[in-house]
Amino acid sequence: MRTIEINSEPVELFKILKFEGLTTTGGEAKLLIGDGQVTVNGDTETRRRRKMMGGDVIGFRGEQFQLRLGTAVKDA
């Protein structure tokens, strides 16, 4: 399982697929989600703008991706 670090919560599902390079565009991500090709925490997810949080697991094209909330670096 691969870990995807996010900087803030929540993050929309389609944006994660797009920014991680799992799809080429946000439009493609939305189509694949709507077509039932993505799972969240083991369940098929068709909501393109599903709000994702740290700890959620995305299933896509036979792979699993777990979201982890990273810590923001503050200026000294």
Domain with residue 36: its CATH number is: 3.10.290.10
Structural domains of the chain, count: 1
Domain contains 75? no
Q: Which residues, in sequence order, are bridge partners of residue 5? A: 68
Task: Confirm whether 76 is domain-assigned.
Answer: no
User: 41 lies in a domain?
Assistant: yes
Check residue 10 and give its pLDDT: 95
Supply 39's token pair. 């799972």
Tens of pLDDT, residue by residue, the chain (76 residues) = 999 999 999 999 999 999 999 999 999 999 999 999 999 999 999 999 999 999 999 999 999 999 999 875 555 4
How far is the C-alpha of 27 from the C-alpha of 25, rounded, in Å?
5
Residue 74 in domain: no
Q: What is the pTM of this model?
A: 0.87
Q: What is the per-residue pLDDT for 76? A: 45
